[in-house]
Structure 1
Amino acid sequence: MSTKESVKMKAYNFVTSIKTAAFVVGSAIIIFAALRNSLTWHAQHFWGASGDLWEEQWRLILHITGEDEFLLYVVGPFLASFIPFWSCSIPLLIMDITKKPNFLYQYKIQQDKNIDLKWKEVRHGILIVLRNQVISFMTICGFYPLMKWRGLVQHGPELPTFQWVLVELCVFVLIEELLFYYAHRLLHHRQVYKRVHKIHHEWTAPICISSIYCHPIEAFFSNYAPVFCGPLVYGSHLSTVYLWVVIATVNTINAHSGYHFPGFPSNEAHDFHHLKFTEMFGVLGILDRLHNTDMHFRASKHYERHQTYFSLTPIKQLVPDPSQNVKQAKCPTDTVETPHTSDGF
């Protein structure tokens, strides 16, 4: 490729990545706003909640903790991650082990993998996850004095406006994408991969607990630090931090669940990353598009299935793979089993 063509390709990828960012973040804002408004309406009309629903819940948290800063700034964010993680993971683990109920198991992306998932494997994974959740607690302990040093300790009873929370969440998402993408690319460097990241890729077909099944170094630099850097930089109200931690936790479980459920954000991209190892390093796909680390993904059937859909029919039936019936040329990544084949990015 000539220099001129290379420049054109980079410019095209940059423009496309900006469009992707606008679409992904914009769609997320619309969906989040709709869910929040719907939940508020139902709470007020059917459960008798007052118009100050969310401020009342926050005041309740302040009352329970006695506004103790350690409970609010360390224990609170940890529980905002720990409780959603296991609430979502336990039902998914039951499905992975029992393959029941069938009407939900049919949404499994790689049904030819983890066929004989044993409790012994799951137990080992759970122990690794619990160790990394201890690291999560230690990470939060480390970020708390940084927030105090910057004068960012905000937990008053008056909540920020919903519009301002949306702005902050958009900033958090973009900061996480930036930090996670490059940290993840570094983890796929030959020397780093074999010492650190290889543990995470023991799951070529991810399951929910594989989201934080990793080396302690990866747990800190790739999983936890990118999440807490946004609030640290922005100086957010603590209630916004709680909300962001819940969203980030649920999102990473969805990305690693191995199930493409109707109405859920597509996790085909990260599932493809676990399957092929060599592409789709980001969360949103923005920087993957910019750096052209999604080339084979965009040429695959997984890309056509990479959508949020609302039919009860599994996406693999709505967008069938013709390779099951017609022999096609092999994808260049089909024979790649490990990503540590070069010394750089």
Structure 2
Amino acid sequence: MSFNATLPSHQPNAADLYASAGTDFTKLNWFEQQWVAWYLFIDNPVIATGLVSFLLHEAVYFGRCIPWIIIDAIPYFRKWKLQPNKVPTPGEQWECTKLVLFSHFTIEAPTIFLFQPIAEAVGMSTWQVPFPTWQLMLPQLALFFFFEDMFHYFSHQLLHTPMLYKHIHKIHHKYSAPFGLAAEYAHPAEVMILGTGTIAGPLLYCYFMRDLHIITVYVWITLRLFQAIDAHSGYDFPWSLQHIVPFWSGAEHHDFHHMAFVNNFSTSFRWWDRVLGTDDKYRAYRSRVQAAKLAGQEKGLSAQELKELEDRMVREAEEEGVRAENEVVRKAEGKKVQ
């Protein structure tokens, strides 16, 4: 039964919505009952959806960042840090947090509160119960991951063109050794551009299929935030997902992008970079590091000497990245590249 066909033109309250839908509350599980109780408590679906969406985003984002802040503070974990000589200071983390919060409240919050009307316009379920089954949700989530990764790859490359990089994307590249909080450390325009890839997939899907619930979108947003924060964590553990799923991107893949400025434009997966050849420098670097380690082991170098060897190669890659970044900025300024 459609929203427009059953409800008056004015904005109905939650009780009207559930009454018009003929909701049988006796068949709901505990989570669905809490969902209904939330909408009845707020009594305005636009505000109810906006509030829970924003609170979810903040709780997931900072909740996922906290473990990485703790890990950064414990020296034991340095052996798994991709750039162990660059641990973020409390001051850097606080500076990053301030810009992230500014973007969240000035850019993302207004957008999130506009989501309910847009969602219902394309046929998305929001206040409705029961929730969708996992059998329905899983293929939807897979599609959203694929769409966002593709959108991000091409948008990210555009952000590395001279003018867009200098005026927008350069902020995100402030940290050559990223950390979890820096996942959304970006210019407001970049937040909107790349955020489009996250939400456009669900909206486009719903426009054509009309079987999407906002709960599925919340699961997607949670997974996407986990992916983005973990990719910026700066750590590569033996149990990290990229060692289990070979085509997963992960921190090891994205850390090179921040360190060397070039290559690895995807978010979740490695296939666009591999197919389109934008991981050539990354793969060459990994091969050099591996070959140098093997050669060092054959020469009987100590663990400390091997670490110093890898540190030197990291510095060389970063120096090349600085030169590449400066070249892009000079192009944006119309200066002759030396």
The TM-score, its normalising length taken from structure 2, stands at 0.71
CA distance in structure 2 between the aligned counterparts of 1:55 and 1:167, rounded to whole angstroms: 23
Residue 244 of structure 1 pairs with residue 229 of structure 2: no
CA distance in structure 1 between the aligned counterparts of 2:118 and 2:149, rounded to whole angstroms: 22
CA contact (8 A) 2:100 2:184 kept: yes
Q: How high is the sequence identity, in percent, across the aligned residues? A: 28
Residue 267 of structure 1 pairs with residue 251 of structure 2: yes
Query: Which residue of structure 2 aligns with residue 38 of structure 1?
Result: none
CA contact (8 A) 1:256 1:270 kept: yes
C-alpha displacement of 1:71? 4.2
Query: Which residue of structure 2 aligns with residue 83 of structure 1?
Result: 59
Largest Rg, 1 or 2 = 2
Deviations 1:54-81 (Å, cap 9, x if unpaired)?
A: 9422331321332742244322222222
C-alpha displacement of 1:340? 6.6
CA distance in structure 1 between the aligned counterparts of 2:287 and 2:220, rounded to whole angstroms: 28
Alpha carbons of structure 1 residues 285 and 331: separation in structure 2 relative to 1, 3 Å? farther
Moved more, 255-264 or 71-80: 71-80
CA distance in structure 1 between the aligned counterparts of 2:155 and 2:39, rounded to whole angstroms: 35
Provide the aligned length of Structure 1 versus Structure 2.
271
Query: Which residue of structure 2 aligns with residue 255 of structure 1?
Result: 231
Aligned counterpart in structure 1 of residue 92 of structure 2, from 111, 121, 129: 121
Which letter does structure 2 place at the counterpart of 1:85? Y
Query: Which residue of structure 2 aligns with residue 150 of structure 1?
Result: 122
C-alpha displacement of 1:124? 1.3
Deviations 1:237-264 (Å, cap 9, x if unpaired)?
A: 0110111111111111100011123433
Query: Which residue of structure 1 aligns with residue 293 of structure 2?
Result: none
CA contact (8 A) 1:211 1:256 kept: yes
CA contact (8 A) 2:39 2:127 kept: no
Alpha carbons of structure 1 residues 55 and 204: separation in structure 2 relative to 1, 3 Å? farther
Alpha carbons of structure 1 residues 121 and 62: separation in structure 2 relative to 1, 3 Å? same
Alpha carbons of structure 1 residues 105 and 321: separation in structure 2 relative to 1, 3 Å? closer
Which letter does structure 2 place at the counterpart of 1:193? Y
CA distance in structure 2 between the aligned counterparts of 1:303 and 1:262, rounded to whole angstroms: 20
CA distance in structure 2 between the aligned counterparts of 1:153 and 1:190, rounded to whole angstroms: 42
C-alpha displacement of 1:211? 0.4
CA distance in structure 2 between the aligned counterparts of 1:197 and 1:86, rounded to whole angstroms: 22
CA distance in structure 1 between the aligned counterparts of 2:55 and 2:136, rounded to whole angstroms: 24
C-alpha displacement of 1:334? 5.7
CA distance in structure 1 between the aligned counterparts of 2:260 and 2:218, rounded to whole angstroms: 34
Query: Which residue of structure 1 aligns with residue 203 of structure 2?
Result: 232
Alpha carbons of structure 1 residues 64 and 274: separation in structure 2 relative to 1, 3 Å? same
Structure 1 segment 125-140 matched on structure 2, within 5 A = 125-134=96-105, 135-140=107-112
Alpha carbons of structure 1 residues 194 and 302: separation in structure 2 relative to 1, 3 Å? farther
C-alpha displacement of 1:119? 2.8
Deviations 1:254-275 (Å, cap 9, x if unpaired)?
A: 0001112343323211001001
CA distance in structure 1 between the aligned counterparts of 2:240 and 2:271, rounded to whole angstroms: 19
C-alpha displacement of 1:112? 1.6
Name the structure where helix makes up a greater proportion of residues. Answer: 2
Alpha carbons of structure 1 residues 302 and 73: separation in structure 2 relative to 1, 3 Å? farther
Query: Which residue of structure 2 aligns with residue 163 of structure 1?
Result: 135
Gaps of 5+ in 2: 1-27, 207-211, 242-249, 291-304, 333-338
C-alpha displacement of 1:176? 0.3
Which letter does structure 2 place at the counterpart of 1:243? V
Alpha carbons of structure 1 residues 188 and 147: separation in structure 2 relative to 1, 3 Å? same
CA RMSD after TM alignment: 3.1
Aligned counterpart in structure 1 of residue 83 of structure 2, from 106, 110, 113: 110
Aligned counterpart in structure 2 of residue 74 of structure 1, from 27, 50, 53: 50
CA contact (8 A) 1:301 1:321 kept: no
Alpha carbons of structure 1 residues 173 and 340: separation in structure 2 relative to 1, 3 Å? farther
CA contact (8 A) 1:297 1:303 kept: no
CA contact (8 A) 2:178 2:234 kept: yes
Alpha carbons of structure 1 residues 213 and 332: separation in structure 2 relative to 1, 3 Å? closer
Aligned counterpart in structure 2 of residue 282 of structure 1, from 266, 290, 304: 266
Query: Which residue of structure 2 aligns with residue 20 of structure 1?
Result: none
